[in-house]
Structure 1
Amino acid sequence: MSRSSVRLEAVRPYAVALFRVVAGLLFTAHGAASLFGVPAGGRGGATVEAWSWPGWYAAVIQLVGGALVLLGLATRAAAVVCSGSMAYAYFSVHQEHALWPMQNGGEPAALFAWVFLLIAVLGPGAVALDGLLGRRPVATG
């Protein structure tokens, strides 16, 4: 193995952790915007109606699941739920409007579905609450 490969392997767990944190933060913010109107974002401060299907439930998954992924707490399970939620959103809300994500407005849903599936497979990376709390070994890629 070359020197650069060894250095890249040493950095991998931290890169995975950074990827997880960024994805979790963005997903959490999306859920907070949908539930509370803060940050306003693309919804302009509008919130989803409580208990409405599927919007309110999706927003709760985004807020709670995104926070769990962000913190690295039950990361794999939370990521699977987040991924499934976004796959459901893509196929039930966006797909009926057009075939391609660029045409049906489903790019964020499709991308989040794949991002969270990747996080579920790779694990939380180097810095995660599960690992820091000693709950289970942290998979690093």
Structure 2
Amino acid sequence: MSGRLDSAQSYVIGLFRMIVGLLFAVHGAASLFGVLGGAVGTDGGTISAGTWPGWYAAVIQLVCGGLVLLGLGTRGAALIASGSMAYAYFDIHQKAALWPIQNGGELAALFCWTFLLLVFTGSGAFGLDRLLARRAAGERQPAAEKAPVTA
């Protein structure tokens, strides 16, 4: 059973990455553009451009979420996203109370640790990172190795 689960690991990580990236990007889009209910904590509007830290957080969410969704620069984007969520938790939420359930920081904590996991696992299957790496490896092979051998 373990062998079958191990063989599916890359695919499950790829699906996990896409879902998390989509959720993060949608959160940023809602805050920046007022779509899907608008900015969190407002009456459905958007965050004013340049507002610290909300607008910058929303830009990170949209850009890094999109990159993670596509599997493009996954590790770097996930590292930035994880750091932004750690900042959100410790600077914004933890001031209210110690525990995430008390201070409303569950989502920030979950996103922080989820993206940190993606820093170490990479994009998994279905990512553009993997496609580009394969293409680059194929271009590095000498032409003699690529050509089929005929007798």
Q: What is the TM-score normalised by the length of structure 1?
A: 0.90
- Tell me the CA shift for residue 44 of structure 1: 4.6
The separation in 2 between residues aligned to 1:55 and 1:68, in whole angstroms, is 20
Task: Please tell me whether the aligned partners of residues 37 and 44 of structure 1 are also in contact (alpha carbons under 8 angstroms).
Answer: no
Which residues of structure 2 form unaligned runs of 5+?
A: 138-151
The separation in 1 between residues aligned to 2:60 and 2:96, in whole angstroms, is 24
The separation in 2 between residues aligned to 1:136 and 1:92, in whole angstroms, is 41
User: 1:49 is matched with which residue?
Assistant: 48
Name the Cα RMSD after superposition. Answer: 1.5
- What letter corresponds to residue 99 of structure 2 in structure 1? W
Which residues of structure 1 form unaligned runs of 5+?
A: none
What is the percent sequence identity of the aligned residues?
Answer: 62
> Is 1:16 aligned with 2:40?
no
> Is 1:93 aligned with 2:82?
no
Distance 1:128 1:100, change over 3 A: same
User: 1:7 is matched with which residue?
Assistant: 4
Q: Which 10-residue stretch deviates more, 4-13 or 41-50?
A: 41-50
Distance 1:136 1:114, change over 3 A: farther
Aligned length: 134
Q: Which 10-residue stretch deviates more, 40-49 or 117-126?
A: 40-49
- Tell me the CA shift for residue 136 of structure 1: 6.8
The separation in 1 between residues aligned to 2:30 and 2:21, in whole angstroms, is 14
Q: What is the TM-score normalised by the length of structure 2?
A: 0.84
- Tell me the CA shift for residue 57 of structure 1: 0.3
- What letter corresponds to residue 92 of structure 1 in structure 2? D
Report the structure number with the largest CA radius of gyration: 2
- What letter corresponds to residue 22 of structure 2 in structure 1? L
